[in-house]
Chain A
Amino acid sequence: MSASLSTLQAARAPAAPRGRNYARRYWYFAAPAAIVVAAVIVFPWIFTLFMSVHDWKVTGDTPFVGLENYTKMLSDDRFLWAVWRTLYFTAASVVAPVILGVWAAVCFASNFRFRGLARTIFVLPMMATPVAISLVWTMMFHPQLGVLNYLLTSVGLPPSSWVYESDTVIPTLVMVETWQWTPLVMLIVLGGIASLPQDPYEAARLDGASAWQMFVHITLPLAWPFIVVAAVIRVIDALKAFDTIYVITLGGPGTSSETLNILLYQTAFAYYDLGYGSAMVVVFFVLIMLVSLVLLRVRQKQAWQ
């Protein structure tokens, strides 16, 4: 993301005198990649649009049905619930990691012994294979034999039913998502904090400001653009969350954790209703683009005036 900003800024800078001539020739470098991107990224986008206006099952005819797949969505309760659930899951999976991630970034910005090691350990959850960690979480959530309920009851708390009841399943999945993705927020914000000027801190220290005051009045406002970037990335990733939900609950119990991405998968690859699935993809894509654009606009206003 930071790269696009620097490209944007660079584009505004006056071009070198010979730049124009050379710019065109540099396109040859991008040509092979452009072909690959066209084949595996752009072609699917266009073909998905095409399929979304057809009644497309895996076998048989594929008659043109216009916008029928789209209007069907409006009265499809399962779809509407999935949208609502996705938004709920996303909101929670942004707020928790951003708060914890900022806290972690502030901690990792100061010097202490074993900082490198601690930071590496902290980053492990986001690098680990999602399927593998999801399986271990599933074992930990087991209502009778799981280690989490043992830990809860041993400190006097009531056991939870974790992913086995519709009330607790989404908060539990948010917990897994938070555990997994707080490190990414930490890294982005830490990168921001590391680039901040040191003078305000020294001035504040001379005035006898406390660590908390310095955080609220210096770190938070200065690092705010990075926190917003981290939040945008988190929104995008939470909307798309798939592996952990698929492996841990497969949308269950019932459909109580069925987010858009899971419903999409089921529609296309369990029921093989590819036309309807494609229409959902289009709506899902538009939703993600809208959210990202709104958030990026907010960010640009704040950071780059």
Chain B
Amino acid sequence: MSATTRSSGGRRTMNAHRVRRLLGRVGLYLSVLVLISPAILFFLWMISLSLKNEADNTAFPPVFIPNPPTIANFVDVFQKNDFLSYTINSIIVSFSATGLALLFGVPAGYGIAKAKATKAAVLILVARITPGLSYLIPLFLLFQWLGLIGTLTPLVITHLVITVPIVVWIMIGFFEGLPGELEEAALVDGATIWQAFRHVAMPLARPGIMVAMILSFIFSWNNFIFGVVLAGRSTRTLPVAVYNVLTFEQISWGPLAAAALVVTAPVLLLTLLMQKEIVAGLTAGGVKGG
């Protein structure tokens, strides 16, 4: 770049160029700061609320930095509510829904990609578009007839509505991106298509499976709408439980913020640790649950 400025005219343009470059840099850093500060400030405030006692939380002007910080709110959350069992519920539901989705979804993604089944892909797309509530009315009745309301089974089954499309969608994109030569070579050597899938395509697709797993776990973990309708008192998942802290107990901000942090902390940590996979998956699919 400097060569062109020199040839196009003298020191002055070069200086002007440098100033413009510097301004551009400053503008860029300022923009990034403006863009990420709402997220930073929000989560810092959430942490701050969870670490303060009730007097500081309702003080005006607000107390920004907990002094001294207290973990009493977190102790409160686990002692006064049955948060441990809700955590276990959430873990069971999200892991089962993700595991089943991988079991069904990975081969399906492969089949659809290989058969170039555009219509099946569109069906998955429509499932992505449909509002979650529209599945709930019939499934609610179905589970009532089957006497399953009050168990975790309906939650696992309805979470498949979210996780299966995510997995299939990501896997279609991933298998389409793989070169087909290796599998063809295996087929020529007499492998069945199942063997070609199991021993050739699937190992190559491991990064894609990872992305699908992480995203389907997160969106299942975050899901609220199915739980709020289908969960009984003892089968609440964490998002439903934290909402009930708001409605049924006396509202105090410290424990509430602590509960909210407990619910979302696993997801935030996973995002920080797996950011590359998550960004890749979201960019490709525009996925979102519910």
Contact = CB atoms under 8 A, between A and B. Distances in A.
Contact of A4 (B28, B108, B121, B136): B121
Contacts of B130: 41, 45, 285, 288
Q: From B112, B137, B176, name the one whose CB has the most chain A CB atoms within 10 angstroms.
A: B137
Assign chain B's interface to a size class.
35 or more
Contact of B221 (A11, A28, A129, A288): A129
A103 B116 contact: no
A113 B136 CA distance: 46
Contacts of A236: 128-129
A274 B131 contact: no
Contact of A268 (B114, B133, B221, B264): B133
B158 to A, nearest CB: 7
B107 A281 contact: no
B111 A131 contact: no
Contact of B111 (A6, A26, A125): A26
Given A124-B268, A128-B267, A236-B129, A184 B282 contact: yes
A225 interface: no
Contacts of B218: 127
A41 B127 contact: yes
Interface string B93-120: 0000000100111011011111111101
A136 interface: yes
B188 to A, nearest CB: 10
A112 interface: yes
- The interface residues of chain A, by DSSP majority, are classed as helix
Contacts of B182: none
Contact of A285 (B46, B134, B275): B134
Contacts of A25: 193
B20 interface: yes
Nearest to A265: B133
B40 interface: yes
B286 interface: yes
A116 B221 CA distance: 25
Nearest to B164: A36
A187 B118 contact: no
A243 interface: yes
Nearest to B167: A33
Interface string A35-78: 01100110111011001000000000000000000000000000
Given A23-B115, A122-B35, A123-B278, A29 B110 contact: yes
Contact of B176 (A3, A132, A239): A3
Given A124-B39, A133-B260, A269-B229, A30 B129 contact: no
B19 interface: no
Contacts of B139: 40, 44
B90 to A, nearest CB: 10
Interface stretch (A161-169, A203-211, A297-305): A203-211
Interface string A90-110: 000000000010011001101
Interface in B234-265: 238-240, 242-243, 246, 253, 256-257, 259-261, 263-264
Interface in A218-252: 229-230, 233, 236-237, 239-240, 242-243, 246-247
B257 A136 contact: yes
A230 B286 contact: yes
Contacts of B141: 47, 274
A215 B59 CA distance: 46
B78 interface: no
Contacts of A243: 224-225, 290
Interface string B267-290: 110111001001100111110101
B263 A129 contact: yes
Interface string B199-243: 000000000000000000010011011001100000000111011
A179 B190 CA distance: 54
A263 to B, nearest CB: 10
A82 B259 CA distance: 32
B15 interface: no
B31 interface: yes
A198 interface: no
Nearest to B60: A145
Interface of A: 1-4, 6-8, 10-11, 15, 19, 22-30, 32-34, 36-37, 40-41, 43-45, 47-48, 51, 100, 103-104, 107-108, 110, 112, 116, 118-125, 127-133, 135-136, 138-140, 144-145, 147, 150, 154, 179, 184, 187-188, 190-191, 205-206, 208, 210-211, 229-230, 233, 236-237, 239-240, 242-243, 246-247, 261, 264-265, 268-269, 274, 277-278, 281, 284-285, 288-289, 292
15 contacts: A1-B285, A2-B286, A6-B173, A28-B111, A37-B123, A40-B157, A44-B139, A107-B32, A121-B36, A128-B264, A131-B240, A138-B246, A140-B45, A284-B134, A289-B129
Given A26-B115, A29-B110, 18 more contacts: A4-B118, A11-B118, A26-B111, A29-B197, A37-B123, A44-B136, A47-B138, A112-B28, A120-B272, A127-B278, A129-B263, A132-B261, A135-B242, A135-B246, A136-B257, A188-B283, A240-B132, A243-B224
